[in-house]
Chains A and B, each alone.
Chain A
Amino acid sequence: MRETRFYLRTALAVAVLLGATLMLGSAGAEEPGPHDELPTFAPRGADTCLTCHDGDPKVMPIFETPHGSLTDARAPLANLQCDACHGPGEDHARRLRPRQDRPPVFAFGQNSRLSREEENDVCLTCHKFQGSTHTHWYGSTHQRQDVACVDCHRIHIAQDPLRDKKSQADVCYQCHTRVRAQSFQPSAHPVRQGLMTCSDCHQAHGTLTEAMLVRPTLNETCYSCHAEKRGPFLWEHAPSVESCANCHEPHGSIHSPMLTRRAPLLCQNCHSRAGHPSIAQTGDRLPGGRPSSFLLAGSCTNCHSQVHGSNHPSGANLSR
């Protein structure tokens, strides 16, 4: 009965939500209207801009990037050129009257007069067509937190650090400072060293999975590299199957291999059968005292070493 109520409540909430959003969405639809007074574009396109900016090292490397391609019909340079992102630039390029400030074009990043959302929409004008990577941008954590594309990407240099395996993590660590600290732990994935990237596990443009993981579930994300843990096994370890995060902290830990707590305590959190699982392992069981197989070396895994599951017919207790 309680289950039925839960389903009914959930279905009702989803129906109301979708109905309301669709109704409001159609009611709020607005068609773009003609604009009488449009700013005008730079009269000679990029040539107008390069009249002054030619040779500027903060500008010119873009010609080495996909954005600076004249042959890619999708690229800004093959369309409205500089104006495609920086807006109509005729006023900016015009000869100034005495004491007149030069009217700015749209700039990005610090001191931009565009809001973060407006900045991003400039990029999304073209990049929304990258269906495989930007499908779930709206509503994602980064979108909701007003992260701008240019907070992470640099497009006027030949090699965007975010797209370089060696330097990507440093970009992410600028905001994810706690994760950076975790990366220094004795047991951590080699992200800080540039042998893995944050984007191996996370899709920063948003996904529908928690923590913007690249696969539909947490465990499937882990199995991308650790397929040996996937099974199914004859004898499964339930918490392992349900979520790797029950025992592991993937950003780093002082307990190898990236465990949330130290064995045997980690295991004793869930195992309290009569006998050795429920015995307290104290400092009396160290070398020099009565060295314990339940505390030292691999602790519980000295015997129960198949903690991710066993396919041995006699492996019910995960020791074969």
Chain B
Amino acid sequence: MDNKKPTFTPSRLSLGIMIALAAALPANAEQDAEVAEDTPKNAGWMFDPESAFYYWPPAPPADEWDACSLCPDVSGWTGDATVGIGYVSDESAYFGRYTGLDDDGLYFLGSARGRYLGADGKYLDLRAEDVGLDTRSLGVRGGERGRYRAYLNYDRIPGFVAENPRTVFRGVGSTDLTLPADWETATSTGGMGRLDDSLTDIRLGTNRDTLSVGADFFRKRTWEYGIEYRRIEQDGFKTQGASFLTTSSILPMPVDRVTDQIEARVAYLQEDWHAILSYHGSFFSNKADAVTWDNPFTPLTAGADRGRISQEPDNLFHQVMLAGNWRPTARLDTSARMAVGRMQQDDTFLAPTINPTLTTSALPRNDLDGQVDTLTGNLRAVYSAGSRLTFIGEGFYDDRDNKTPRDAFEQVGTDTFVGGTRTNRPYSFERLGGRLTADFRASSNVRLSAGGRAEQVKRTYQEVDKTETTAGWGEIRATPTDRLDMSLRLTREERVLDDPYTALADVIPEENPLLRKFHLASRDRDQIAARLTYMVSDRVNLGVSADYAKDDYDRSQVGLIDARDRAYTMDVSATPRDNLTVSAFYGREQIDSTMASSAGFGVPDWTAGQRDTIDTVGVTLEARDLGKDGFDAGIDYAYSSGKGRITMQTGFPTASLPDLESRLNTVRLFGRYRLSDKLSVRVDYLYERYRSKDFALDDVAPDTIPSVLTLGEESPNYSAHFIGTSLNYRF
């Protein structure tokens, strides 16, 4: 646990960039005052359809425009504040994720927005939302329009981990999980005599707090500067399995992570070109970098009564990026980007084991000295060959060069026995490719597009050194009337292996030689996408979409064989009256896949099919300014159903797996009544009903699986009502 702490100090390179950025900032206010002089006064645009070019006609000076005597004076403070109280009927961790309403009982509801505008262009925006909830959010933004702005934002996202978990471990929240003093170990969970008495209810959740502070500066129209610091803190829990060879425990693991990020950029802008230089620094620190726990099972070997599992090591990433755009003529637009980055990780290694009875060789090094250099380059050129034909050419290069040293590490199997050595495989990748697209406006109503793509990926230490992917596609888009827009797109893609698929030699026991990992395997992919939008009238819109994708891995015998995805959506929105909006949507997605494997380590002897079916329905109705006193009301209903069906075919009669199911019903209602010009009262009601079935969790008590001591968590199921009332004051 004496790991070296991360190198938080940005590298000299990044420091140099930040100094350069700081030096380039506006020197004084007088320079800012040049803004107005540099900007074409009374300039405007005019489109010339013949030349497809924009120019600035000479507008006569109109001093009286500056006065704008009828423009309203909006200087001063405006805003509103809301204070209220809410009540939640039932407690549910799952309902509380992303709503902050995990407990039953009363909640304070508060939010406020304020804006100050000065006659001199200075402004200040204040925002506070969900003040009484875990989803709270705050923001401050201010500056002078056209010159600078500064901001501070804070928000929290509460997360869900497990519903009603129970554990026998003590010290939950720490990095040392122990068993009760009277714990009785056993070879299986069924024999753990003190299990039931030792179980305690725990609450597991996470919070992600993000604080960002930044500023942007604008100098004339030609310079733009920005800098931002962001801190992300994650704390709470996660669940994680930790094993001793043949047995395992699901542990409530502490989460205590911090990520600091710095973004800085400077942009130089001209009429027909601009360039942006930016720096991104990310520094990750894990305060819970290892967890030790007592083995609740009878140790298989002496000393295997405690284990230690690592957590994510501290790491950092620097990246410098140069991007630009050059538009030499109205017909040609080019843009490019190049990013150079470096990931580093040098956390001190843990000992190979904490089992005092095992003797191990010295580690080949004290830390990984891990380093990955990244280089990403992109180019794009868009050329309009007349008003009808446009070509787009793109090239891309992405290199992940892993320079981490390779060494042989003696393996201690789960703190239980000393095994052989394994040599690490620092993976590198290189992607190179390009795309060419042609868009042709066949008529004012029809556009045809076609394109192709070629990509090559090279990998190290994997079963395939190189794959090549080529794709071609065509699209037709038609607008037979001003109200109807239709499109159809077909895509065909093929991925082939440039070298034979060769199983890795140092994997023991070896993989089935017929296996083809899906991301390395030969694959044919077909995609169809169709869209239709129809403006039935000025007040009614209709949209329909259909997507189909099919992946064939027909040269794979073991592994993923095929996958298919079909999705359909339908949308209707209408505004029957100016103060009434109605919308509804329906969506269905069906995802199928088939895989094959071999228990006999030979030709396939079993297959598995998986079908996920998802239906989603939503209806929203909102009315404003009802009655002479001003009454707003709305209702929002959503239903979502997910079903996962797994079909196993082994050639033997076996019981089937039950379907995975989830059903969400949500109803939201609100009513707002204006008591006066400034004061209104609002009532909110939310009902959520969620039902789910998951065979991996249902009926799995802590001692159900003989070799795994679980947390006995349940599939989330809840019905919760929320009702709240609040007063809103506008100023």
Contact = CB atoms under 8 A, between A and B. Distances in A.
Contacts of A131: 224, 267-269, 274-276, 325
Interface residues of B, number: 228
A311 B71 contact: no
Nearest to B398: A217
Interface in B143-172: 144-146, 155, 157
Interface stretch (B294-302, B418-426, B723-731): B418-426
12 contacts: A13-B436, A35-B46, A35-B48, A71-B145, A79-B42, A174-B573, A208-B335, A224-B282, A272-B597, A292-B705, A310-B310, A312-B309
Contacts of A217: 374, 376, 398
A80 B705 contact: no
Interface string B669-704: 000000000000000000000001001111110001
Nearest to B690: A186
A21 B335 CA distance: 13
A220 to B, nearest CB: 8
A136 B293 CA distance: 51
Given A280-B599, A286-B699, 12 more contacts: A50-B70, A180-B587, A215-B280, A227-B259, A232-B370, A232-B402, A242-B427, A254-B642, A273-B512, A284-B655, A296-B710, A297-B241
Nearest to B347: A311
B135 A195 contact: yes
A21 B332 contact: yes
B432 interface: yes
A69 B226 CA distance: 22
B93 to A, nearest CB: 13
Interface in A215-258: 215-217, 220, 223-225, 227-236, 238-239, 241-243, 246, 253-255
B404 A44 contact: no
B35 interface: yes
A68 B349 CA distance: 59
A262 B646 contact: yes
Contacts of B335: 135-136, 138-139, 208
A25 B518 contact: no
Nearest to A208: B378
B44 to A, nearest CB: 4
Contacts of A235: 424
A190 interface: yes
Contacts of A32: 48, 51, 53-55
B242 A69 contact: no
Interface string A246-285: 1000000111000001100100111111110011111110
A254 B612 contact: yes
Interface string B124-143: 00000100000101000000
Contacts of B333: 138-139
A140 to B, nearest CB: 9
Contact of B64 (A9, A47, A125, A232): A47
A161 interface: no
Given A282-B657, A314-B352, A79 B43 contact: yes
> 8 closest pairs, A vs B, by CB?
A71-B121, A25-B332, A283-B655, A45-B65, A72-B146, A181-B587, A208-B378, A184-B640
Interface size class on chain A is 35 or more
Chain A interface mostly: loop
Given A70-B71, A185-B642, A232-B315, A10 B44 contact: no
B664 A293 contact: no
A66 B426 CA distance: 50
B7 interface: no
Interface string A289-311: 10111011111011111101011
B587 A254 contact: no
A68 to B, nearest CB: 8
A204 B256 CA distance: 33
A25 B390 CA distance: 12
Nearest to B54: A121
Interface stretch (B84-92, B178-186, B381-389): B381-389
A193 B704 contact: no
A232 B515 contact: no
Q: Which of B43, B59, B282, B339 has the most CB of A within 10 A?
A: B59
Interface string B27-50: 000000001101111111111100
Given A17-B436, A77-B68, A297-B241, A274 B601 contact: yes
A108 to B, nearest CB: 14
Given A44-B62, A193-B99, A283-B656, A230 B315 contact: yes
B242 A314 contact: no
Interface stretch (B13-21, B102-110, B197-205, B409-417): B409-417
B699 A314 contact: no
Contacts of A223: 282, 317
